[in-house]
């Protein structure tokens, strides 16, 4: 069964989260996607702070031979809380909370349950790690479904600047997750999804394929920087902030034919306002 559980646990990888957040924002709910991105980044930072602050062991910490090399490769950092459980719950339950459709809740619960079970089946987490991760992810999902973020004014600039300043003062050797989370938070808070989703299947396919191609060119391009540079706190934060801005603002601008301009959504999962043609 291990190949099955490895495939399931890989649904909790960063690349999968990027794909799902991008497609959700472009094709279904621009304002809600931006809100979910901010909450996701906050949940990521909470997970990192607790994980490294508590520094609790994993089941195989004392005996690496208890798990396979493939399973151990999916386990980075200390044990509690489970990042896979928390972040998958934040993402999938957050989408379900915003869209408020029973079918989406069914899919979300199934995916989160499978990903969480995979961490136990692979032997890389204790049950308590997964339970705490699910609780934290559930709280984040509730917030994503209820909160409305400020869309204009000083807050648009001030909050990202503070996040990047914090990243700039991170001490050397601190886990790279902090820079990632601060960059995601800054990028999603700053970004403004001033577009409506494509109206037809062809448009959705074009936006999905071309948009993801652009995003991953940027993602892997920035990831190709020298290790001595790219994992510096501020540089890592800027990498992820730029990635988010490219996804939320550059991609829609490049594909304006299929993503017509519209007013900024309130982020509550409501349908976007009537689109207006680009000038």
| pLDDT tens figures, 212-268 | 999 999 999 998 888 888 888 899 999 999 999 999 999 999 999 999 998 665 555
Residue of 101, 96, 272 whose CA lies nearest to 199: 272
- Predicted local confidence at residue 265, as pLDDT: 59
- Predicted local confidence at residue 77, as pLDDT: 87
pLDDT in tens, 189-224: 999 999 999 999 999 999 999 999 999 999 999 988
Q: SS3 for 249?
A: helix
Tokens read off for 24: 């959700």
CA angle (213, 43, 87) in 5-degree steps? 60
Residue 71: pLDDT band with limits 50, 70, 90: confident
- This prediction has a pTM of 0.89
User: Rounded to an integer, what distance in angstroms lies between the CA atom of residue 226 and that of residue 138?
Assistant: 37
Residue 13: pLDDT band with limits 50, 70, 90: confident
Q: Helix 14-27 to helix 201-223 angle, to the nearest 10 degrees?
A: 140
Residue 270: pLDDT band with limits 50, 70, 90: very low
| Widest distance between CA atoms in the chain | 63
User: Rounded to an integer, what distance in angstroms lies between the CA atom of residue 202 and that of residue 208?
Assistant: 10
User: Rounded to an integer, what distance in angstroms lies between the CA atom of residue 214 and that of residue 209?
Assistant: 9
Given a cut of 70, whether residue 1 has pLDDT beyond it is: yes
């Amino acid at each position: 069964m291990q190949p099955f559980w490895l495939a399931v646990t890989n649904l909790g990888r960063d690349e999968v989260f990027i794909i799902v957040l991008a497609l959700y924002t472009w094709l279904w709910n621009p304002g809600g996607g931006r809100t979910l991105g901010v909450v996701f980044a906050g949940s990521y930072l909470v997970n990192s702070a607790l994980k490294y602050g508590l520094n609790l062991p994993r089941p195989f910490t004392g005996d690496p031979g208890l798990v396979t090399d493939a399973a151990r490769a999916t386990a980075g950092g200390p044990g509690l809380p489970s990042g896979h459980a928390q972040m998958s719950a934040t993402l999938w339950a957050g989408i379900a909370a915003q869209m408020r459709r029973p079918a989406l809740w069914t899919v979300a619960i199934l995916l989160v349950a499978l990903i969480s079970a995979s961490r136990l089946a692979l032997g890389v987490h204790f049950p308590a790690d997964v339970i705490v991760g699910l609780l934290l992810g559930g709280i984040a999902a509730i917030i994503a479904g209820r909160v409305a973020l400020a869309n204009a004014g000083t807050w648009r600039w001030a909050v990202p600047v503070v996040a990047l300043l914090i990243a700039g003062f991170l001490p050397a050797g601190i886990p790279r997750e902090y820079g990632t989370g601060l960059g995601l938070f800054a990028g999603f808070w700053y970004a403004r999804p001033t577009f409506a989703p494509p109206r037809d299947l062809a448009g959705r396919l074009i936006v999905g394929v071309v948009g993801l191609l652009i995003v991953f060119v940027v993602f892997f391009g920035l990831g190709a920087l020298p290790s001595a540079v790219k994992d510096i706190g501020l540089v890592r934060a800027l990498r992820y902030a730029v990635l988010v801005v490219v996804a939320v603002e550059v991609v829609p601008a490049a594909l304006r034919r299929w993503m017509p301009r519209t007013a900024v959504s309130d982020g509550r999962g409501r349908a976007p306002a009537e689109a207006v043609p680009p000038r």
